[in-house]
Amino acid sequence: MHYVHVYKLPLPIVQKQVGHKTLKATSVYLRPSDEAVGSAYDEARARTEPNLQAKGFYSPKSSFSHDSKT
């Protein structure tokens, strides 16, 4: 149910739609996939890096890659 994150649906609405009695049961849909986490990180980084570069807080040479598997 990835669209909970994509469309930012309120959890009580999802709870009612799927027929859960508790929000705890519905909260399983709040766990984003690794791909969703990576995409959100990339989008945030793309928005903030130009501002950080302009202010002298960021140098592309000093950045790390979250793609590396260690």
pLDDT at 56: 73
Predicted confidence at residue 22, as pLDDT, reads 95
Domain regions of the chain by residue span = 3-56
Neighbours of 3 (CB within 10 A): 10
The answer to whether 19 and 30 have CB atoms below 8 angstroms apart is no
pLDDT of 60 reads 58
Query: Rounded to the nearest 5°, which phi and psi values hold at 59?
Result: -125, 125
pTM of the model: 0.48
Q: What is the pLDDT along the chain (70 residues), one digit of tens a residue?
A: 777 877 888 999 999 999 999 999 998 888 888 888 898 889 988 888 777 767 776 665 544 555 555 4
